[in-house]
Amino acid sequence: MLTITKSMIEKISKIMDLDKKEKEILSKYFKIQKANLKIKKHSYKAFRIIHNNSLGPGKGGIRYHPNVSEDEVKSLSFWMSLKNSLAGLPFGGAKGGIIVDPKKLSQDELQELSRKYVRAFHKHMGQDKDVPAPDVYTNPQIMSWMLDEFEKINDKKEPGFITGKPVELGGIRLRNDSTSKGGFIIFNELAKKENIKNSRIAIQGFGNAGYFMAKHLSKNIVAVSDSSGGIYDPKGLNIDKVKNIKDEKGSVQNYSAKKISNKELLELDIDILVLAALENQITKENASRIKAGYIIELANGPISNDADGILFKKKITVIPDILANSGGVVGSYFEWLQNKTGTGFEDSYIERMFDQKMKETFNKVYNEYKNSKHDMRTAAYVIAIRRILDAERLRGRI
């Protein structure tokens, strides 16, 4: 992943005509922290990395996964810098992770691991320093344990230290499906601009983000998939029934429809393809076979660098991840703001402000895209990097 980050910086540097100092700023990491967390006889390597803090405190999730690595966390913290900057938020980019399979831990061991993570890094965290959130295989319960540990250590209440919490501990109702809700708003704005109607939509990935996106778009869904495979019905799927069957039997493939592979779903003759699963799903090997006119990246990095150029030549419009899935961090921003100010915002106010923020960000990217010779991903990167470098310049670091 770090190789992709470096190649992207080189590509954008040429487009923006960045000098050596500006490239160094983008390539530099403000803080790299590591620790070994011991639970019984096992030791788990943990990371918390802040890429850039020129716009505000670090902001980014914590993932628990066997494939976590320092390079991955570095790359993800860089992408969080861009995502937060693009959305106009007062945050820098950060990310964290633990090399662990959480499914192999008991609930007590999971709690102990989460508390030890905070003990390892608490001096560098806080609502004005670095604000974590849930990511892969972490959830509101884990955020609750981390909040409790942080407040015990510091002997004060600071709910703004972490986002993605339960409502009872200062979370907001919007946060649970903010990623998909943001993606849905982006889709609607795109549909207005491009006059998209009566779309046939396929969604790869039926986890939290994929399911909620399917709910928002339920009338037009003809295919969905999970890790076991997918289902396809050109007449449309009953999303509530698909969800019930997946919950009861473990896979969407138990639903009464044509069974297809994840590979086949990607290459269906459809209008909109929503990628809500894993990275590198569309590569140079299959990009030429993609038939959808529009792709929405609800997952992080589902399209490889070399596939981007192929899709652009095919005139397939890609809504990049740092725009399409930014609803998660925008929702987190309103939670953090509520906690930091001690103000209890009405749900309707948060919904209205969230909607406005997502639309503003989309239109900013869309206008840049239309006024350039590049794809929408490049347009988003240019806007995000410009804001970071402007902040660095104003601080006298460039």
Coil, helix or strand at residue 145: helix
Q: What is the DSSP letter of 137?
A: T
User: Which residue in 323, 210, 329 sits closest to 273, CA to CA?
Assistant: 210
Contact of 94 with 49, CB cutoff 8 Å: yes
Coil, helix or strand at residue 211: helix
User: What phi and psi, each to the nearest 5 degrees, are found at residue 59?
Assistant: -145, 125
Where b means 16+ CB within 10 Å and e means fewer, 300-312 reads bbbbbbebbebbb
User: Which residue in 279, 281, 274 sits closest to 319, CA to CA?
Assistant: 274
User: What phi and psi, each to the nearest 5 degrees, are found at residue 157?
Assistant: -85, 130
Q: Looking at this protein, which amino acid is placed at residue 387?
A: R
**Vertex 89 angle, CA 84 and 91, to 5°:** 65
Active site residue 38: no
Coil, helix or strand at residue 37: strand
Which residue among the candidates 95, 116, 181, 357 is catalytic per the annotation?
95
Contacts of 209 (CB under 8 A, 6+ apart): 177, 179, 180, 183, 276, 298, 299, 325
| Catalytic residue positions, numbered | 95
